């Protein structure tokens, strides 16, 4: 489509590691097929979550699309550019965060890194001030600008990292596990900021995370990778419905009876059953034949859905 900002076709990547004996003789190769030919497109202004278990190829995808890695096959364009050619005009229009790494210069105040980026990206003084003002509404970064980067807490650091990559108002941003180890308050701030950024600038966002609460209510669409292949690509809501189970939580007034459903959590007289979606009503009826204190029937949340899908 005309509005497709990211077009990925049959993208492949195999890592080859040479095995050596006594660091000298090559005795073989270890090959990891990290991407087995994935295809997808993303439209301007979409927020897409890239999900999947460890090792499923999420970071490899992000690295290829941000020009850090060359693929072995297939093609990808972002904003019409081939990312791994690393053209300046391309890199000027994107922003990327790898949660494990920091773009901030460690020993100087945060502001110094900001001013360096301002220069590199050619952001004018007025635009810089306006953008800072806008980013400060959710990220509260102004108060952090005078602080040495190494003195920041993890949450403060991430607020700065996000502010930094947004300074030049990129058209596309890639976030690879930005919230690992970060407190709930900061995660909410990041989410609010991303919503505003899309609203105000129409930014396209590719967001990889393990923290399901980060993306609930934020993303339009989920791409689920398992072992280098796309397992699901579509709206979150349909993904949720694709799981043929519901969860029935009950606090019994008596000892927990054996109802024949799979128990996934239990503590004393509290129990959580996993019941087939079609039998949910009957399960509730069965439970009500016993003395209970409380009961609730829940749809699996995103985290549970992913576990169900991955376990097959």
Q: Which residues bind ligand ADP (CB under 6 A)?
A: 15, 17, 32, 34, 52, 54-60
Which of Mg ion, ligand ADP, none lies near 109, with the C-beta cut-off 5 to 8 A by kind? none
| Helix H or strand E encompassing 126 | helix 125-139
Which of Mg ion, ligand ADP, none lies near 34, with the C-beta cut-off 5 to 8 A by kind? ligand ADP
Which of Mg ion, ligand ADP, none lies near 113, with the C-beta cut-off 5 to 8 A by kind? none
Instruction: Assign 224 to helix, strand or coil.
Output: strand
Interaction residues for Mg ion, span 138-197 (CB under 5 A): none
Which of ligand ADP, Mg ion, none lies near 52, with the C-beta cut-off 5 to 8 A by kind? ligand ADP
Which of ligand ADP, Mg ion, none lies near 32, with the C-beta cut-off 5 to 8 A by kind? ligand ADP
Instruction: Assign 18 to helix, strand or coil.
Output: strand
Q: Which residue is nearest to Mg ion (CB)?
A: 59
Give the C-alpha separation, 220 to 26, whole Å.
Answer: 48
Tokens of 22: 């006594």
Residue 38 CB, shortest distance to ligand ADP, in Å, is 11
How are strands ordered across the β-sheet holding 270-276? 262-267, 270-276, 245-252, 292-298
Q: Which of 146, 145, 121 has the alpha carbon at shortest distance from 132?
A: 145
Which of Mg ion, ligand ADP, none lies near 131, with the C-beta cut-off 5 to 8 A by kind? none
Q: What is the 3-state composition of the chain as percent helix, strand, coil, each rounded to the nearest 5?
A: 35, 35, 30
Q: Which is nearer to ligand ADP, 34 or 76 (CB)?
A: 34
Q: Which is nearer to ligand ADP, 31 or 241 (CB)?
A: 31
Give the C-alpha separation, 306 to 52, whole Å.
Answer: 8
For 42-69, letters b (16+ CB in 10 Å) and e give: bebbbbbbbbbeeebbbbbbbbbbbbeb
Q: Which is nearer to ligand ADP, 58 or 246 (CB)?
A: 58
Which of ligand ADP, Mg ion, none lies near 15, with the C-beta cut-off 5 to 8 A by kind? ligand ADP
CA triple 103-127-44, angle to 5 deg: 70
Q: Which is nearer to ligand ADP, 35 or 132 (CB)?
A: 35
Q: Which residues contact 6 (CB under 8 A, 6 or more apart)?
A: 40, 41, 42, 65, 76, 77, 78, 172, 204, 206
Residue 34 CB, shortest distance to ligand ADP, in Å, is 4
Q: Which is nearer to Mg ion, 59 or 204 (CB)?
A: 59
Residue 139 CB, shortest distance to ligand ADP, in Å, is 25
Q: Which of 13, 129, 128, 150 has the alpha carbon at shortest distance from 70?
A: 13
Residue 154 CB, shortest distance to Mg ion, in Å, is 18
Q: Which is nearer to ligand ADP, 115 or 310 (CB)?
A: 310
Interaction residues for Mg ion, span 27-86 (CB under 5 A): 58-59
Tell me how many residues contact Mg ion (CB under 5 A): 2
Q: Which is nearer to ligand ADP, 223 or 304 (CB)?
A: 223
**Contact footprint for Mg ion (CB under 5 A):** 58-59
């Amino acid at each position: 489509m005309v509005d497709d900002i990211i077009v990925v076709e049959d993208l492949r990547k195999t890592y080859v590691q040479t095995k050596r004996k006594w660091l000298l003789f090559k005795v073989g190769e270890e090959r990891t097929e990290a991407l087995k030919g994935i295809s997808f497109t993303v439209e301007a202004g979409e927020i897409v979550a890239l999900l999947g278990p460890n090792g499923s190829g999420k970071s490899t995808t992000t690295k290829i699309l941000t020009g850090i890695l060359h693929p072995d096959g297939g093609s990808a364009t972002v904003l019409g550019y081939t990312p791994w050619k690393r053209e300046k005009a391309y890199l000027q229009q994107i922003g990327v965060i790898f949660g494990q790494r920091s773009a901030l210069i460690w020993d100087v105040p945060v502001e110094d890194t900001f001013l360096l980026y301002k220069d590199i990206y050619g952001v004018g003084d007025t635009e810089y001030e306006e953008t800072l003002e806008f980013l400060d509404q959710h990220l509260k970064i102004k108060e952090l600008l005078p602080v040495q980067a190494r003195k920041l807490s993890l949450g403060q650091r991430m607020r700065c990292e996000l502010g930094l990559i947004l300074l030049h108002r990129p058209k596309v941003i890639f976030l690879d596990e930005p919230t690992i180890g970060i407190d709930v308050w900061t995660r909410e701030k990041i989410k609010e900021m991303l919503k505003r950024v899309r609203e105000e600038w129409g930014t396209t966002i590719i967001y990889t995370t393990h923290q399901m609460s980060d993306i609930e209510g934020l993303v339009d669409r989920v791409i689920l990778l398992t072992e280098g292949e796309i397992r699901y690509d579509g709206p979150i809501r349909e993904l949720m419905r694709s799981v043929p189970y519901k969860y029935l939580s009950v606090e019994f007034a008596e000892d927990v009876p054996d109802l024949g459903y799979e128990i996934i959590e239990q503590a004393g007289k509290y129990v959580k059953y996993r019941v087939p979606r079609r039998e949910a009503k009957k399960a509730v009826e069965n439970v009500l034949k016993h003395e209970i204190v409380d009961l609730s029937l829940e749809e699996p949340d995103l985290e549970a859905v992913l576990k169900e899908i991955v376990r097959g």
